[in-house]
Structure 1
Amino acid sequence: MSDSSATTILRNAHILTFDPARPRATHLAWHKGRITAVGGEEVLDLAGARTRVLDLGGATVIPGINDTHAHMEREGLKHQRPSLAGARTVAEILDRVREAAKTTPQGEWIVTMPVGTPPFFFDGPDTLAEKRLPDRYELDAAAPSHPVYIQGVFGNWGKPPGHSALNSRGLALNGITRDTAPRIAGVEILKDATGEPTGIIIERNNRPTVEFDILPAVPRFGFQNRLDGVRLSQRLYNAKGTTSIYEGHGSAAETISVYRKLWELGELTVRVGLVVSPSWSDLAEAKKIMRDWLATARGSGLGDAWLRVSGVHIAYGGDAATACCARAHLPDTGWSGFVEQAVTPEDYREACFLAAEHDLRLHTIVSDQLHEVVPVLEAVNEKHPLSGRRWVIEHIGRARAQDIAALARLGIFVTTIPTYFLWKGGWKYLDEPDNGNWMVPHRHLLDAGIPLSLATDNIPYDPFFSLWVATTRQERQSGRVIGPDQRLDAETALELFTVSGAQLTFDEHWKGPLKPGYAADLAVLSDDPTTAPPAALRDITCNLTVVDGRVVYGAD
């Protein structure tokens, strides 16, 4: 094939390019992973003897989804443990434990996924007729030769409380007795009338701490587990049209190592941008690590078109006991994939100055504390101008006009998780002033000219669910709309979910819109999001996903 020919041509398509010079097209060609032409039937002139021409029958084509707060490392792990989905009684739970015992060598752990309906597990034990988990003695009878652990829900998927259960072997291996007292608030060991543990533990923290605190013997995800998990995660994310991710919440050293290994093996099918999740315990250690060990993450970082590491995530707030317990279990990070932090306002301010001094891009989740973080950014800016550094504020909940104006002046980038605050956690914000128009204020952010991108947070990882939330802003239980003036039209939301995120990895000059010279990263959809009714957006599926000109999901 000559260099002037196209490897592949899509014809008879409805192409949303997000290229202002040509927003719509019907034909698209690529060669060696880059788009060579976008337009009408004249694109067919690039066809050579070996060009593959795909007639899409009018199907919609969009740039690949760029999930800018993806937590992709989690999804594949969920498939490594037996599922309890669909169980409606304690007896059915016990039957599944018995089945697992048949294939698990004697003495080895049986660890299951939570009780409830995935992916959120909102219903938990309420999905069972008995409204409770099996106790230690029932689990003993089901698996007398194995320690058993039914894990509680990871709060980021659903909402606390989480309910865990262990049998007697499991309790003994973890040293849990009638005298065991959790170090972390929010963890409760249930006991019977005699004061003995029943085997059931209730966790009221959003991110479970029970394993870090009182269950050291429960098996952790090892490096190979995480490697295999990301391998599966990539396939699952590709199947939703996702071609790039960005992990602004930060990745622990072990997580970065997993992605590095897949990059080394040439197995990445999702372009990956990572941010360092540090494990320092105080400012003195932070200063030394920033100075001596994070040079590769400075500025735009190091990497290529498939894997790039840049910047650092520094938390604002957090529980000190949780962070201490979590660091003690490194390299294991549980389901998080990042290192738990607890940073006081005073230490946060100093850490921001250190990050600026060492040219490390800051990433911080602010939730409802944007008004507390903005003054710190303004103070840093006076000594180290932030314009052009592409610092990132994430997970904005409540905001104020003056804070948004400040972000715009400072040149701060923003990523939001509409599903987290509006749909899943929206019950807390149903009675906000101004009809909730300052909650996750997408329109206000865009009107201020702030670079903005949307993300899934893996709750769920389907971008079209988050697209639906961004356009409807409905709270999940009441259906009430939070911030009606902040609703996005589908085309704007789709742009924020595709091309906008390229700026976070300094890739906007070659990745994002479907235009000549840019990466052939795209998805073919079941429906056109820009014409579908808002209620139908979450039902859109992906039929074909292409990354770097290669089909990574779907049939020819």
Structure 2
Amino acid sequence: MVRADLILTGGKVVTLDRQWQKTQAIAIAGGRILAVGRTGDIAAMAAAKTTRIDLAGRTAVPGLIDAHAHMDREGLKAKLPSLAGASCIDDICQRIEALVRDAEPGEWIVTMPIGDPPHYTGVPGNLREGRVPNRHELDRVSPDNPVYIRAIWGHWRNSLPLVSIANSAALRLAGITRDTLAPSPEIQIDRDMASGEPNGVFHEFDHKPLVEHTLMSVVPRFTLADRIAGLRQSMRIYNSFGTTSVFEGHGIAAEVLAAYQALRHESTPSVRAHLLFSPSWSSAQTDQVTGLLKSWGAWLAGRGLGDEYLRVGGLYTESDYSSTNRLRAKTGPYTGWAGFNYDSCLPEDVMVEMMVEATRNGIRIGSFTPNILDLYEKVDKIVPLAGKRWIIEHMGILDGDEIARIRDLGIHLTMLTSRYIFQQGAALHREMGDRAGRIAPLRSLIDAGVPVALATDNVPPTMFHTMWHAATRRTEETGQPFAEQQCISREEALACASREGAYLTFEEDEKGTLEPGKLADIAVLLDDPLSVDDDRLPGITADLTLVSGKIVYDRAEASNAAL
């Protein structure tokens, strides 16, 4: 009999196999699951050197797989001083003043946005004055050090406008005067009514920040060292919620890929990552785009290049070939919060030609261009997509005909429940009335046989929030569910947070369920996500997280280290 290196016994093991089997214990050998079964049977597989973990009634589930994570952003948030909890302008100024005291003369002071994470909602209504500070108020505490309060990444709260603030020293370094014009209609430079001088406040009416790539591009940027340290911290945070794998469907730019590669070279990462490539097209001419694609085929085709911990394969694209994206791309290869290239977009006709060439070269495509289903069908008429598992990201609203078309093409969906159910569900329900069942229609998709993987989009970085959205359909605004006919069961939600994510990356034989032969990626939870009260489901965290049978997160140790 093969003896186990590690056994976990005395709990509830949710295997998520196709028989939905639940049992009590797991045996692990060589980083893979040796067996699952009853505690007595698994205990018999132990040897003298076998490590034993008593689950003590806790629940073990497959390691969770975030299908659209933007994981790199989470740790970056800690690289900048926080303004969370500030309730008035004086609170903000006091924090800036403290930062100035510790800074060198002339050193930049750059902070996180105003508001509380993860969504930064209610700004500026969260401040007593009902407005944000202006440059004159920041000047009083920082007359010489340039100060910039960054804008949020707009999809953290999915409402506009974004706001950022610079003091006078920062405006001088950026060359912004009363004669400066906004480089885009999406930017508003606020001005003093009497003098016409900029008051330091910028409003943006686009979800992706533009000011920091144009008017305030002089502000210090995230360095490679920042991104490496941030990514390392991100992995710890995602592990704390039981996440062991991520899929980056929006694509990864070179500066973020470099951080992933550095961590992979340094050690074995605690989160497995499959990254779509975010290209920076030097030209939007069809022949040049397709020519580049052919040269990439050798390493982007199929599952791409890499190993079980880090892999790059496939390509993200969209047709938002807008002037604002081209403006953002001018700071390339720097991408800011995005982590993907803004010049990955192409004119629609060029994009279709590129996707046809991608299919011929075995390169998988992911996109969330609004009419992407129509464009995929154009490609399918030239080169069939069956079996290629192309991806539609962030899918939100679908009718029955669209669901059938998606099924017939063999498309895999990633679902952004935080936006379409939690943040915007109540407003969309009012707008759509009796058609609200089309909003994030998970029940209809699963019943139609469409593969769906849940995703956090990093707001917040826990898959238990997405499971809660999928199972209850409660909205942030009302706290009440809507279109309950589209609810899915807890087990189905857990499968969409693990098993379907493995299918997304062609790794259904390697992970996503707790079955013999698969990688021993496991989350041990104090609360059972299948039976805990609805109100407690989004707050579930991991007690232990294992990757390849090795503990990468232990809540007790993390708590002791924090003391």
Give TM-score, length-normalised by structure 2. Answer: 0.94
Q: Secondary structure at the match of 1:66?
A: strand
- The code of the aligned residue for 2:160 comes to P
Query: Shift of residue 25 of structure 1?
Result: 1.0
Match in the other structure for 2:324: 322
Residue 396 of structure 1 deviates from its aligned partner by 1.0
Return the offset for 1:480.
4.5
Q: Deviations over 1:317-345 (max 9, x none)?
A: x3612221222111211101111244443
Is 1:13 the counterpart of 2:14? The answer is: no
Note if contact 2:290-2:353 (Cα within 8 Å) is conserved in structure 1.
Answer: no
Question: 1:53-452 maps to which residues of 2 (within 5 A)?
Answer: 53-158=52-157, 159-192=159-192, 193-280=194-281, 281-282=283-284, 283-316=286-319, 318=320, 320-340=322-342, 341-366=344-369, 369=370, 372-430=371-429, 431-452=431-452
Work out whether 1:46 is the aligned partner of 2:48.
no
Taking a change above 3 Å as real, the CA distance of residues 235 and 163 of structure 1, as seen in their structure-2 partners, is same
Q: How much does 1:22 deviate?
A: 6.5
Cα separation, 1, equivalents of 2:435 and 2:2 = 56
Moved over 6 A (4+): none
Q: Give the corresponding residue for 2:490.
A: 490
| Counterpart-to-counterpart distance in 1, 2:298 and 2:144 | 51
Q: SS of 2:323's equivalent? A: helix
- Structure-2 change in CA distance of 1:34 and 1:299 (3 Å): same
CA 1:440/1:343 → structure 2, altered by over 3 Å: closer, same or farther? farther
Name the CA distance, whole Å, in 1 between partners of 2:414 and 2:20. 27
CA contact (8 A) 1:420 1:459 kept: no
SS of 1:449's equivalent?
Answer: coil
C-alpha distance in 1 between matches for 2:60 and 2:407: 32
Contact 1:114 1:124 in 2 (8 A): no
What is the percentage of aligned positions where both structures have the same residue?
39
Q: Deviations over 1:406-456 (max 9, x none)?
A: 111111111111111111122441131534111111111111211211111
Unaligned runs of 5+ in 2: 558-563
Question: Number of paired residues?
Answer: 549
The SS at the match of 1:249 is strand
Instruction: Say what the alpha-carbon RMSD is for the aligned residues.
Output: 1.6
Once the two structures are TM-superposed, the CA of residue 33 in structure 1 deviates from its matched residue by 0.7
Deviations 1:24-73 (A, max 9, x none): 11111101210111101111111111111111111111000100100001
Normalising by structure 1, report the TM-score. Answer: 0.96
C-alpha distance in 1, partners of 2:424/2:125? 19
For residue 464 of structure 2, give the secondary structure of its aligned residue in structure 1.
Answer: helix
SS at match of 1:394: strand
Q: Whole-Å Cα distance in 2 between the matches of residues 142 and 295 of structure 1?
A: 56
User: What is the rounded CA distance, in whole Å, between the counterparts of 1:11 and 1:337 in structure 2?
Assistant: 41
Per-residue Cα deviation, 1:266-306 (whole angstroms, up to 9, x for no partner): 24110000001111141343212211235201122111110
Q: CA deviation at 1:479?
A: 3.2
Give the gaps of 5 or more residues in structure 1.
none
**Residue aligned with 2:156, SS:** coil
Rounded Cα–Cα distance in structure 2 between residues aligned with 1:536 and 1:81: 31
- Match of 1:454? 454
Compared with structure 1, are the counterparts of its residues 74 and 68 closer, same or farther at alpha carbon in structure 2 (3 Å cutoff)? Answer: same
CA distance in 2, matches of 1:397, 1:20: 27
| Secondary structure at 1:171 match in 2 | helix
Q: Which residue of 1 aligns with 2:560?
A: none
User: Residue 124 of structure 1 contacts residue 162 of structure 1 at CA under 8 Å; is this kept in 2?
Assistant: no
Cα distance between partner residues in 2 of 1:297 and 1:455: 23
1:536 corresponds to which residue? 536
Could you tell me whether the CA contact under 8 Å between 1:117 and 1:123 is conserved in 2? no
Residues 234-282 of structure 1: per-residue CA shift (max 9 Å, x gap): 0000001000000011111111121112111124110000001111141
1:36 aligns with 2:37: no
Instruction: Tell me if the contact between 1:70 and 1:457 (Cα under 8 Å) persists in the aligned partners.
Output: yes
Match of 1:510 in 2: 510
**Distance (Å, rounded) in 1 between the aligned partners of 2:134 and 2:382:** 59
**How far apart are residue 539 of structure 1 and its match?**
2.1
**CA contact under 8 A between 1:87 and 1:93: conserved in structure 2?**
yes
